[in-house]
Structure 1
């Protein structure tokens, strides 16, 4: 094909230097070129000529943008366009390698002087770490060349062109290029120079590249080191006594590197007049007997997928934000990252080396939009694109090859199959045979070392774990990982505990990577955080971009708190013998010497004693029964429980001493029973019935007030504002509960009172709750009794008809005055929990404002349930109410209705009203992860079935 503009050619670059290893530690001078750049935006690729790159061009009337940055996130009132979100489809016609004439083009100008002391002689390199989607570059009027590959590093030799003063760097960036067909990742499309631009001095004879080979022999306890360099040099590692020529191998006793014990040795390579710092981690990663191992031990990934994202700067991240991400991961027991779906900023991998994270480093390659076309024209199966694929693979591997944290190379994501992928895999194997190769999109697994899947249901994971899965015979010999699972969109994900037990049961199942790390909600002047469609996009995928374990501001979601608990590397459970705790070390490598164990004894939620617990420094995989102290004195009849916690014994780089790593609760005695609720009979009073502190409506039997507090809209409630996971994925229509619940009419249930019977002991109300136009319903009996101080409610529910769906919830709802703005409860907390997201709910006494009970999902939905509640007190300035349950109950309290919550598209849409809506639930339907993954497991579904429960209401002071 001829006559194509450069940005739509099949070629990946022109004029750039070969890719090489990246290092932040070198004595070579460097000049960061970030900051304010002059900027001009044109609506099309050919709307402006290239005269701006020439000497003396006057850009005085241009605007300014910050580099690194995306121009669509800068400017005023959308003057530079806006971001656009699609998951799969391309936002332009699919006609590779062509792109539309409507191709926003940003011209950038940066003037700079060389700093005082810039070395004389030698050469210089101009480095771009990331530009979307392509760039054409000039320096002092001379065109250097162009490149594609948005998340890849590109360098130009510029030494002869530099001047001491008034250098002019000009860069033209097109939003769309042929490279865009290879970058259809599930994320915002945001053009710009979004990573660092740096000028680097290179002494004459400086190395072009170097490769650190640092393997570990776990049987001998030794490491073999060889640093290859393309010019003669010397390698020194003082701590190991190493001083050898580059290219020479040496074997020495070492401590291995792992994610749990990230042992690094400081060294240096001196070559060609340049000193390059080395941070060497000795480790060997390989597949043996169908299991992925590092240093002789099986790896269990407790991982996350991580896009680079900040709500204000998009994919332009500073070092502080990257460090915050890594520290949050470590504090939440995460040990692995898949760099979905491109190589990260190179500084992120330095952090992974230092803090300790296993990394699957993924190529900047995804062609998912071709799936919509039956994969017709897929570039990875078109030989014209193969040079571009190989260029992307080389830039991935060469840049990152010296990082011990990188343990697998991933070819890319959701690209289908094709000869180009096979060629890429073979190139990677030839260049770096020390790391296994990963790719999920070809289930025949012809060129990979691990079998990888996205979102398989639990039952299938078990089948795969037993190596009973169908498919190519050689695939059953591979280790299995879930490169994506537990889709963390909105409320959820559910089912994490059940996945983790499978990983621990089957050696082949080596964990997975939750999708994903952070919600990609962009700062929005009206919505708070915007998602697809909020920036004027005609084609978008809505809030599917908000599917992270962190909210956009990096606040941990309940999903991350749950994940931390599920994957904790120490398990504390009741021992087989009374009075003991079973402590299991689930680390892959580390012993427990870095942890201290403490206990607390709770009676009805109150701590009555505490102390330290002696636990031996178990090696990885060991367990022991530990004797607990004698049961402390506590009130008779109180519910008693031990809480045992594993905390850091000393400060680490990622958390201080005392940081909690794991915990367990060991029950001693059961909760107290509710009072019988007898002794104060009902009294008729016109249209009312007086029953102890309660006033009931004589016609409906519903409470009108309690201790003077008005009560409204009491009744059985089965509805919830569907979660993203309730709404489900289109390819699973039979279990898209949100849609099926609405079709049945559960959001508009109608209530009928059949009888209100008053006897000497209390009031019995018989009613029916059912959806319009359907012949299914729920027969409900309410029984009200009192002892004069409080009032007891017994509820019996019997389904009628053939219920085709599970219920969202089953309990009672009532309206109370909004002045009741504080909650204290004894039960599970402190955060929300549902039947399949309850691992992190810890028994105790907790308190919160009503506002604090809400979980601020970017798209509002059912949230905020507290589990296992023994009692709840809601109080205001002048009055309050206490609720107790038998069995324990779930509660939610919010100042808007289910309908308000269901109708809201963004957080600011929820406006508090003058009623506090309180749900007291006997049971809830689970959450699952069906927004992209499997639905709610059968054991967590709330099927329509007979149920009985009791509640006890007592008015209290304010």
Structure 2
């Protein structure tokens, strides 16, 4: 047995040279569909295969490929699939850790192996054809036999492999194909990407018939002139001739068609001038169809090959990279191939879903992290319009851990393995206009092998740029790139005077769990400094795998849940989408922050706003401006305006037709809400799709006020003992616990509202982005503070009682504390005004998670209404997507279900909230300032202790948090900590809240946010 999988000198045996991805057709009509099923020269071998799994190569059947070998008792397995997802072995997740000893090129002797076998027939129409066997992706290495004869070997998991099996085929009879796949190979050392280790034949397997003389490959270069107007179409053609015939008898003809199928040019020349073609960009994905005809000397068609052509020019100039002469901004994301049920098998409709979601959320670029994707994905990027950074299947991050980061990267023995990854990526994907950069790989240090990769790429393709983040000195790359550089560092990069290359963030804003924060500030910096041309958020979607528990509840699993060791836990759940492709609040925040159209106020008193077009190539005539004026949950005015030809980079003042002198009778503020919407259907959205939005508080003073006068209140009775204070009014009763220094019971109209009230709270269930901060928090025991009550004083009046409490909050054996003073004023109406003054002292933590109050309410109080940001969650550094308004919800819907439970569901800039039961009785909480709140059917401890969504069990009470301030969320699971202005540093604080019991039908519909109690 050849042990090719651990021989560094063997990358393949009999594998054909790489080529671009295309299909041949017999006629023009079928060719223009681009459907591989319409090609009678193509056959998928997907489906059920016979399968045998063993823990080692040696335990696999030695001669299973022999036609006499009976596999009837083998299992069936789907192809494509990952065998771990089919019940063989276990999924194993690591970020950068190799799951075996580092000793290149050696791999574990326990090398799980999958043997595949199936039968197939070759159509009679293929009898005179060469037969090519093609694999789009096999992890990680494999041998092939056809009809018992060895065909070849290949490695390189996420790249195509082709073999000519013509001489092994028995035409007109049944044939067998046998594959032995090895989980580990020496190639695994450069496939150490942050993702699940999953094995097997996970992309399409197909047969392709080729005429003895056929077009083996072609390279289309669509050059624009220096004025970016006219184009030169340069076509390289590689004709394969297995019969040694005179190629002069064969003719190649090129026909270029526009989007309407009209002929633009017909030529036999490989260089064709095209006058003023429509240009391709991500905003204007104009494509032409090039039909390549191969004819024999009788003019008969041998094959027609279609290829989409996009005319665009990518270049470096004056410190920027340009597309068609314009320095573009990359509003990008990093995308792994991941499916919550299928592992790395990604169905075609799943790819479409991803691209539609990207386009709908203002994303214009994707980095194929960290390997070439399924070839069909690039077709979709061409069609829908996304800039692509195509990345080689190369990463050896684990060497960094052992302090030998460049061990193989700077070892010439590995040069062929490295360059092979570049060749196969470029050759397969070279005809896609969407690809503007070749990325040589990820997190593999820098050395001589990357120099060789860059040299090969630049010699082969001069139409695109070369990227690699760890070429920190810019020796061989065209674009400087960093990961997770904080805001301050990005400003430094922007201000560099001695750098003539543009700078991007190939990864930033780590979107793990609740996050990322600080997006707006990144983009403020990008727009300020011309050298900075955006970046790619890490990452697009969580990699969690779907499970159903014994109670039928769905949840998602991550590293360690299969007993896989070592693992990086839930670090694979760091996306803007959940594993089921539902958007997170982080995606909505990103959509708003990277808005390609900006709306700013100009003169609201006159109904004037300003529209700025941030697109690079299109004007705004395909968008409308929708507006309305709202207050007290009423719409007073609305309309739709056309935006017209506002050119890229242009700002225009728009007059909103509103009656600025109109008198409104309101309890709350008046808002002008504006949305930019599409005014016609396009490839990725229907008419009316919202691109961006903004809300402006109008300069209007409420004409109504609501006062509760002490003189009109009912009298109260106060009973005080050593352990409690009982305050009774006509329709309420409050029990104040003097031992704990807080309300222990609140009844209104005989119905209990509060079970436990106004606990001082400085802890939150840690979020993923607290990953490093939480260690310091727990070291300072912020999560274990104790409260000592130092004094309670009572001042009783006929119509109210004042209770003053002094407390001392500190952890056991603590070297820091917070001294709090509370003032409760409880009125005869049942209203409570609570003010808190706090003074931190001692050797304080650098930051607190939060400062606020926590209450336990009766479980019946499940209906929420609030005036603040919504409708979804928001935090101090992630609230651009949330407009101020009046929103309602249920307590259960206030939960944001992250794969790994954590602090969630906060709402910011809130002036009041009400919470009531189904009969309408409840509590109204307001403040003269703004506060944050969250409400759950769980405690923060429940959320912190749960490891998966299904472990959260609803309590028989409601937890309500009212926050003076909460620490920002940042993206410090991998990116930067929250900015200083978003950090909760210890400081003296004071805040006040007002609590009012009510019947919903009795309480005024809305209460002036600046409620006054006299």
TM range (shorter): over 0.9
Q: Give the deviation of 1:347 after TM superposition.
A: 0.5
Q: Determine whether 1:241 maps to 2:260.
A: no
2:638 to 595, 604, 610: 610
Residue 214 of structure 1: which of 219, 222, 229 is its match? 222
Q: Which residue of 1 aligns with 2:728?
A: 690
1:732 aligns with none
Sort the Cα spacing of 1:953 and 1:209 in 2 relative to 1 into closer, same or farther, 3 A.
same
Correspondence for 1:731: none
Q: In the alignment, which of 367, 378, 385 is matched to residue 407 of structure 2?
A: 378
Residues 203-227 of structure 1: CA deviation (Å, up to 9, x unaligned): 2211111001112236252222122
Which residue is 1:955 aligned to? 997
In the TM superposition, what is the alpha-carbon distance from 1:823 to its structure 2 partner?
Answer: 1.8
Q: Does 1:20 align with 2:14?
A: no
The equivalent residue for 1:137 is 144
Query: Are the aligned partners of 1:603 and 1:635 in contact in 2 as well (CA < 8 Å)?
Result: no
Matched, 1:758 2:795: yes
Contact 2:60 2:115 in 1 (8 A): no
Residue of structure 2 in register with 1:283 after alignment: 312
Residues 936 and 6 (structure 1), Cα distance of their counterparts in 2 relative to 1, 3 Å cut: closer
Aligned to 1:482: 505
TM-score normalised over the length of structure 1: 0.95
Q: For 2:215, what is the secondary structure of its paired residue?
A: coil
**1:776 is matched with which residue?**
817
Aligned match of 1:173 in 165, 168, 181?
181
After superposing the two structures, state which structure 1 stretch, 151-160 or 745-754, moved more. Answer: 745-754
Q: Deviations over 1:567-620 (max 9, x none)?
A: 010111111574311111111111111111110111144322211134332111
Q: Corresponding residue for 1:903?
A: 945
Alignment match of 1:713 (pick from 756, 764, 768):
756
Q: Which moved more, 1:602-611 or 1:144-153?
A: 602-611
Q: Deviations over 1:504-527 (max 9, x none)?
A: 111100001000001110123448
* Alpha-carbon distance between aligned partners in 1 of 2:199 and 2:701, rounded to the nearest angstrom: 59
Alignment of 1:407-426 (within 5 A): 407-426=436-455
> What is the rounded CA distance, in whole Å, between the counterparts of 2:21 and 2:475 in structure 1?
31
How far apart, CA to CA, are the structure 2 residues paired with 1:183 and 1:601? Answer: 55
- For 2:415 and 2:824, how far apart are their aligned partners in 1? 74
- Pair 1:748 & 2:792 matched: no
1:105 is aligned to 2:132: no
Q: Which residue of 1 aligns with 2:1012?
A: none
Instruction: Tell me, in whole angstroms, the C-alpha distance in 2 between the residues paired with 1:698 and 1:44.
Output: 68
C-alpha distance in 1 between matches for 2:883 and 2:989: 26
CA RMSD of aligned residues (A): 2.0
C-alpha distance in 1 between matches for 2:111 and 2:162:
25
TM-superposition CA deviations, 1:750-778 (whole Å, max 9, x none) = 22332132232432332323322223213
Distance 1:550 1:636, change over 3 A: closer
For the Cα contact (< 8 Å) 1:10–1:178, is it kept in 2? no
Correspondence for 2:545: 522
| Structure 2 CA distance for aligned equivalents of residues 324 and 776 of structure 1 | 52
| Counterpart for residue 28 of structure 2 | none
Change (3 A) 1:432 1:522: same
What per-residue deviation string (whole Å, max 9, x for no partner) do you get for residues 347-375 of structure 1? 00000000000000000000111111222
Determine the C-alpha separation between the residues in 2 that align with 1:604 and 1:793. Answer: 26
- Match of 2:868, SS? strand
Q: What TM-score, normalized to structure 2?
A: 0.90
CA 1:933/1:542 → structure 2, altered by over 3 Å: closer, same or farther? Answer: same
Distance between the aligned counterparts of 1:577 and 1:766, measured in 2?
A: 46
Matched residue SS, 1:685: strand
Q: Deviations over 1:695-725 (max 9, x none)?
A: 1416235251142324133222111011111
The residue that corresponds to 1:561 in the other structure is 588
Residues 694, 703 of structure 1: 8 Å contact kept: no
Equivalent of 2:205, from 197, 206, 213? Answer: 197
Instruction: In structure 2, list runs of 5 or more residues that go unmatched.
Output: 24-33, 240-250, 296-301, 1001-1014
What does residue 830 of structure 1 align with? Answer: 871
1:171-199 deviation per Cα after TM superposition (whole angstroms, max 9, x unaligned): 10000000100100011000010000011
**Counterpart-to-counterpart distance in 2, 1:671 and 1:275:** 71
Distance in 2 separating the partners of 1:353 and 1:643 = 35
Structure-2 separation of matches of 1:498 and 1:840: 14
SS at match of 1:112: strand
Stretch deviating more after TM superposition (902-911 or 429-438): 902-911
- In 2, Cα distance between the equivalents of 1:914 and 1:893? 14
Q: Deviations over 1:319-374 (max 9, x none)?
A: 00000000000010000000000000000000000000000000000011111122
Stretch of structure 1 that moved more, 423-432 or 784-793: 784-793
Residue correspondence of structure 1 range 629-648 to structure 2 within 5 A: 629=657, 630-631=659-660, 633-636=663-666, 638-648=668-678
Structure 1 window deviating more from structure 2 (225-234 vs 186-195): it is 225-234
Give the C-alpha shift of residue 60 in structure 1.
0.9
* Residue number in structure 2 paired with 1:153: 160
SS of 1:379's equivalent?
Answer: coil
Measured after TM superposition, the shift of residue 376 of structure 1 is 6.0
Distance 2:161 2:389 in 1: 22
Note if 1:454 corresponds to 2:473.
no
Post-superposition Cα deviations, 1:407-439, rounded to whole Å, max 9, x if no partner, equal 000000011111111001000000001111000
Contact 1:770–1:776 at 8 Å: present in 2 too? Answer: yes
1:485/1:911 CA distance change after superposition, 3 Å: same
1:234–1:270 CA contact under 8 A, matched in 2: yes
Task: State how far apart, in whole Å, the 1-side matches of 2:348 and 2:689 are.
Answer: 24
How far 1:444 sits from its partner (Å)? 1.2
1:664 matched residue in structure 2? 694
Give the Cα–Cα distance (whole angstroms) in 1 for the partners of residues 326 and 4 of structure 2: 52
Equivalent residues of 1:261, 1:356 under 8 A apart: yes
**2:934 corresponds to 1:892:** yes
| Secondary structure of 1:234's aligned partner | strand
Q: Is the 8 A contact 1:28 1:275 kept in 2?
A: no
C-alpha distance in structure 1 between counterparts of 2:10 and 2:468, whole Å: 24
Contact conserved, 2:4 with 2:10, CA < 8 A, in 1? no
Q: State the alpha-carbon separation in 2 of the partners of residues 611 and 822 from structure 1.
A: 32
The C-alpha deviation readout for 1:647-690, integer Å capped at 9, x for no partner, is 11111121111110011111114787885674446520354123
1:488–1:929 Cα contact (<8 Å) kept = yes
Q: Matched residue pairs, number?
A: 938
Distance 1:120 1:696, change over 3 A: same
**Would the alpha carbon gap of residues 675 and 302 (structure 1) be closer, same or farther in structure 2, given more than 3 Å must change?**
farther
Distance 1:303 1:210, change over 3 A: same
Asked if the contact 1:674–1:885 (Cα under 8 Å) also holds between the matched residues in 2, the reply is no
Where does 1:54-65 land on structure 2 (aligned, <5 Å)?
54-65=66-77
Matched residues in 1 for 2:927 and 2:981: separation?
Answer: 23
Q: Using the alignment, how far apart are the partners of 2:513 and 2:862 within structure 1?
A: 25
Question: Higher Cα Rg: structure 1 or 2?
Answer: 2
1:507 paired residue number: 530
Change (3 A) 1:524 1:915: same
1:873 and 2:914 correspond: yes
For residue 96 of structure 1, report the CA deviation from its aligned partner: 0.7
Evaluate the alpha carbon distance shift between residue 33 and residue 100 of structure 1 in structure 2; reply closer, same or farther with a 3 A threshold: same
Q: Please identify, of 157-166 and 126-135, the stretch whose mean Cα deviation from structure 2 is larger.
A: 157-166
Kept after mapping to 1: 8 A contact 2:223/2:234: no
Alpha-carbon distance change, 4 to 200 in structure 1, aligned in 2, over 3 angstroms? closer
Q: What SS class does the counterpart of residue 44 from structure 1 fall into?
A: coil
Give the stretch that moved more between structures: 553-562 or 516-525: 516-525
- Check the 8 A contact 1:763/1:784 in 2, yes or no: yes
Closer, same or farther in 2 for the Cα pair 1:53/1:804, shift >3 Å? same
